[in-house]
């Protein structure tokens, strides 16, 4: 089964006038946006934390449902979300409802301010993309045995690798890391510097299960 991921799209914020009259509202909003003290509602913290991959509805994961839902949040003068309205549906009610419910629950704002700098109602527009991760490819068996010498000054030399299933670039990157590595010098029981030969193996095994 595919795993789940999601992404919150960068928002658009606006200050909303308190008046319910549409004509007056447009006039007040226009005036608000031209004054220095007016400001939109601003999220406190990272909006990406409002909804997490673990919030992906289980039914949607089972159905491998995906979609993008766009919403507008109405933010009260205390910075809390008073309502969430879906402006563009994902086509999946569960995804739409979950996005709105979690934003109402978790989103916190520095409230919008009017022309006089007083907290007022504001709005915040954003989108959530619900998407299933592509399945990972079947792992392939790999192994690599690396050997090298740690010199008395802590530098390395004679880096060598015997590998199976690795690309030439992967081998070269590993050898480059080996050549550039630096260690604390080793000492013998009398505190004298000594060189060391190091050999280690990394192995990824893949085998079929029989009888299942």
Token readout for 80 is 């809390």
Whole-number pLDDT of residue 82: 96
pLDDT, one tens digit per residue, over 129-180 is: 998 877 778 888 999 999 999 999 999 999 999 999 999 999 999 999 999 9
Q: Are 162 and 203 in contact (CB under 8 A)?
A: no
Q: Reduced to 3 states, what is the DSSP secondary structure of residue 105?
A: helix
pLDDT at residue 126 is higher than 90: yes
Domains delineated in the chain: 4-132 (3.30.2420.10), 142-204 (no CATH)
Whole-number pLDDT of residue 9: 54
Q: Is 25 exposed, middle or buried (0-12, 13-18, 19+ CB in 10 A)?
A: middle
Rounded to whole angstroms, what are the CA distances from 134 to 63, 64, 137?
Answer: 14, 11, 9
Among 93-97, 98-102, 148-152, 205-209, where is mean pLDDT lowest? 205-209
Vertex 162, ends 161 and 166: CA angle to 5°? 95
CA distance 135 to 126: 28
**Residue 118 pLDDT class (50, 70, 90 cuts):** very high
Q: What does pTM read for this prediction? A: 0.52
Sign of CA dihedral 106, 107, 108, 114: negative
What's the N-to-C CA distance of the chain in angstroms?
18
Judging by DSSP bridges, how do beta strands 156-164 and 186-187 pair with one another?
Answer: unpaired
Averaged pLDDT for residues 96-110? 95
pLDDT, one tens digit per residue, over 5-41 is: 555 554 444 444 443 443 333 343 444 344 456 889 9
Q: What is the mean pLDDT of the chain?
A: 84
CA distance 15 to 122: 4
> Regarding predicted confidence, which is higher, 23 or 4?
4
For 180, residues 6+ apart whose C-beta sits below 8 A from its C-beta are none
């Amino acid at each position: 089964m595919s795993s789940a991921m999601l992404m919150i799209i960068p928002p658009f914020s606006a200050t909303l006038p308190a008046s319910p009259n549409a004509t007056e509202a447009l006039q007040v909003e226009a005036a608000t946006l031209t004054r220095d003290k007016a400001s939109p509602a601003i999220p406190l913290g990272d909006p990406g934390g409002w909804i997490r991959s673990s919030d992906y509805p289980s039914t949607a994961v089972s159905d491998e449902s995906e979609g993008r839902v766009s919403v507008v949040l109405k933010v009260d003068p205390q910075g809390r979300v008073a309502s969430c309205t879906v402006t563009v549906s994902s086509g999946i009610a569960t995804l739409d409802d979950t996005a709105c419910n979690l934003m109402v629950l978790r989103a916190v704002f520095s409230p919008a301010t009017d022309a006089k700098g007083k907290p007022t109602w504001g709005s915040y527009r954003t989108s959530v993309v619900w998407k299933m991760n592509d399945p990972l490819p079947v792992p392939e068996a790999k192994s690599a045995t690396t050997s090298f010498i740690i010199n008395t000054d802590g530098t390395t030399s004679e880096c060598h690798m015997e590998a199976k299933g690795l690309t030439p670039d992967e081998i070269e990157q590993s050898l480059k890391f080996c050549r550039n590595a630096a260690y604390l010098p080793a000492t013998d029981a009398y505190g004298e510097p000594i060189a060391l030969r190091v050999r280690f193996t990394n192995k990824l095994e893949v085998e079929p299960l029989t009888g299942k």
